[in-house]
Amino acid sequence: MYKIIGADGQPYGPVAADQLRRWVSERRVNGLTLAQAEGSSDWKPLASFAEFAGEFGPPTLQAPPPAAMPPFAGTSDPRASNKIAAGICGILLGSLGIHKFILGYTGAGLIMLLITVLTCGMGAIVMHVIGLIEGIIYLTKSDAEFVRIYMDGRKEWF
């Protein structure tokens, strides 16, 4: 005979072993249900009793359901993922036009790069100022506005 602690936290019993096996098959109790054997003062999980161990099968570890991942704070639209890289490259390396290449504006990037190289660096000052301004503009736009203007609208300059 056994006593058990029900799901409501109340003790039930004494209950015969056959009755407990029926409750296991009906899923009214499980291996974690606390039980106390007659003549014992210890409460322990039902699966720890040798006479019930076979009723529950091998112990399994069940992973908790994955928590919902919060959206990445930096981007609400995946097409805006290059905004920060393009902005920083525009500020730091604007004269080379790297920020244009990052956004897929190959023609504009080549123009900036060729002006810098073909003028032996004299045009680099102007190209760097343009890159600096564009980098600041990119970084100050919201993700939605950046996507609308530079991804959807394909605005290559300023």
Chain segment 47-66, per-residue pLDDT in tens? 888 888 777 766 555 555 55
> What phi, psi does 14 have (nearest 5°)?
-70, 145
pLDDT category at 31 given cuts 50, 70, 90 is confident
Segment 33-40 shows an average pLDDT of 88
In sequence order, which residues have a C-beta less than 8 Å from that of residue 82 and are 6 or more positions away?
Answer: 102, 103
**What is the structure's pLDDT at 27?**
82
The helix (H) or strand (E) run that includes residue 14 is strand 11-15
Give 98-122 pLDDT, tens digit per residue.
Answer: 999 999 999 999 999 999 999 998 9
* Average predicted confidence (pLDDT) for the chain: 84
Angle at 46 between CA 43 and CA 50, to 5 degrees: 105
Say yes or no to pLDDT of 132 above 50.
Answer: yes
